[in-house]
Amino acid sequence: MFVKPESASALFAGPFALATLSEPDGAHIPALVTADARVLDLRAAFGDPRLTVRGLLDIWDSAAPRLAALAASADDGSEFRPLAGFRVHAPVEPRQVFQSGANYRQHVIDLHVAHGDPADGRSEQERRAEAAEIMDRRAAEDLPYVFIGLPSAITGPYDDVVLPAWASKPDWELEVAAVIGKAAHQVSVEEALDHVAGYTIANDLTDRATVFRRDMPQIGTDWLRSKNAPGFTPLGPWIVPAASVADPGDLRLVLKLNGETMQDESTEDMIFDVARVVSYASQSARLLPGDLVLTGSPAGNGMHWGRLLRDGDVMDGSVTGLGAQRTRCVAEGAS
């Protein structure tokens, strides 16, 4: 999809963001995009015809001030071109994708009540109070829940999403994704955000019917099957530098399905904030520049509403200061 923003001033927070763009039949371009919807090809600016956005993240400490200077000089340079007419792709090709589950308080409380024992005679209010106490204890004493996703599931923020024929219960999960800008291994919570270059939007689609293996329920969740079909992670449109995001713990996520609001929550509702999730993932794995750390999805998934994705559905997802994505669902085999 080629994009012509309706409101250039509302693209994202801050003076610039990173994107991966292309022209018709052209190569992918690592681009600096200004808040007023102009584009600079960073291959020429950095003197490297093979440069990618991930390559910039590999040198983020030195690249970030150069990018800020380029954005500040946008009015002086003829190299900047209008964004309209470019195709917007996923902003980065990560080496690794880390995904956090069960990380929004209200969402997990809803799940606790919905999946409780039918014989429990207590009122819903009492069961919610119990769930809230469990969430408070979990935040204070427990650890984030993080698993691994596949980069091959990533697609662009305006691309169609193919719903596989085998996926009988496909669902949406709008999330904030932290983008790593400096390798992180066994970093503390206090150090974690120093390793984050910026933030972007991810929609972590899940086929609810295949989360648990029916043939071997004792082995637990099957995230390969349920979350990693090609295109199941629409990403972007932009990587907004962390310096432009005042507080990652105060961002509003909104997902609309065919114009109807399904998710509308703040990252303030996270049980484990971005720093705790990044730090936790780094205790076992070495996080690399360009890697994604998805931070969980709030209440309002399709299972909550009893309405799952089907052919022709359009999802609009937005996060404060990070922009917006729009994806259309297409059944496998449909024209």
* Residues 141 and 38 placed together within one structural domain of the fold: no
List the domain range (segments joined by +) for residue 318. Answer: 97-331
* Residues 128 and 196 placed together within one structural domain of the fold: yes
Per-residue pLDDT of the chain (335 residues; tens, 9 = 90+): 444 444 444 589 999 999 999 998 789 999 999 999 999 999 999 999 999 999 999 999 999 999 999 999 887 767 899 999 899 999 999 999 999 998 998 888 877 776 667 788 888 888 888 888 888 888 888 899 999 999 999 999 999 999 999 999 999 999 999 999 999 999 999 999 999 999 999 999 999 999 988 888 778 889 999 999 999 999 999 999 999 999 999 999 999 999 999 999 999 999 999 999 999 999 999 999 999 999 999 999 998 899 999 999 999 999 999 999 999 999 998 75
Whether 84 maps to a domain, the answer reads yes
What is the SS3 assignment for 21?
A: strand
* Residues 117 and 191 placed together within one structural domain of the fold: yes
Count of structural domains, the chain: 2
* Residues 183 and 276 placed together within one structural domain of the fold: yes
What's the CA gap between 202 and 318, in Å, rounded? 10
CA 197 to the chain's CA centroid:
14
What is the SS3 assignment for 153?
A: helix
What is the SS3 assignment for 305?
A: helix
What's the CA gap between 178 and 282, in Å, rounded? 13
Query: What pTM, to 2 d.p., does this model score?
Result: 0.93
Residues 6+ positions from 206 with CB-CB distance below 8 Å? 170, 171, 173, 226, 227, 232
* Residues 103 and 49 placed together within one structural domain of the fold: no
Structure tokens at 198: 């910026």
What's the CA gap between 295 and 273, in Å, rounded? 8
* CATH (domain of 225): 3.90.850.10
Instruction: Give the pLDDT of residue 24.
Output: 82
Report whether 323 contacts 128 (CB < 8 A): no
Structure tokens at 100: 């956090």
Whether 268 maps to a domain, the answer reads yes
Residues 6+ positions from 303 with CB-CB distance below 8 Å? 169, 171, 208
Instruction: Give the pLDDT of residue 8.
Output: 41
Classify the C-alpha dihedral 258-204-226-304 as positive or negative: negative
Whether 118 maps to a domain, the answer reads yes
What's the CA gap between 330 and 310, in Å, rounded? 8
Whether 307 maps to a domain, the answer reads yes
